[in-house]
Amino acid sequence: MHLAYWESHWDQWWGYGLFFVATGAGQALLAAALVRRPGRAVVLAASPTTWGIVDMYAMSRTVGVPVGPLAGVAERAGTIDLAVTALEIVVVGLLLASAGRTARRAIVNAMLGAGVLLWALRLTDHLA
């Protein structure tokens, strides 16, 4: 879906368009990797990156993206982007369910650690 909307985001700013191209290409490669070699390495890479895309969506709809001409401007949530984000959350859940106990623990701990670090940076004014 990200590849379907890259052009309209490129019109806003090349960085937004590039993010959509990279995200769409990455998700297409992820789908191919999951079909071809659905192993631990793919799950370890895919879970936090997919969750990062969900986080960026939440940020863009609440406080605005951190860079570009629309930095700090919250966007309106639309039906399509809400549906895609819901599917991405389901994908993260399925990836975690397929990861196995040890890998799942490592992924969740890494994601929680990153969240704590981001909050610490934000609360100490190191992250605007």
| 51-107 residue pLDDT tens | 899 989 998 998 899 999 999 999 999 999 999 999 999 998 888 888 888 888 888
Examine residue 113 and state whether it is found in any structural domain, yes or no: no
Which amino acid type is present at position 55? Answer: D
3-class SS of residue 1? coil
Domain range for 24: 2-100
Examine residue 119 and state whether it is found in any structural domain, yes or no: no
Examine residue 122 and state whether it is found in any structural domain, yes or no: no
Q: What are the φ/ψ torsions at residue 76 (nearest 5 degrees)?
A: -80, 140
Examine residue 87 and state whether it is found in any structural domain, yes or no: yes
Domain count, the chain: 1
Residue 75: how many CB atoms within 10 A of its CB? Answer: 14
Examine residue 74 and state whether it is found in any structural domain, yes or no: yes
Examine residue 107 and state whether it is found in any structural domain, yes or no: no
Examine residue 114 and state whether it is found in any structural domain, yes or no: no
Model-wide pTM > 0.85: no
CB distance 98 to 43 below 8 Å: yes
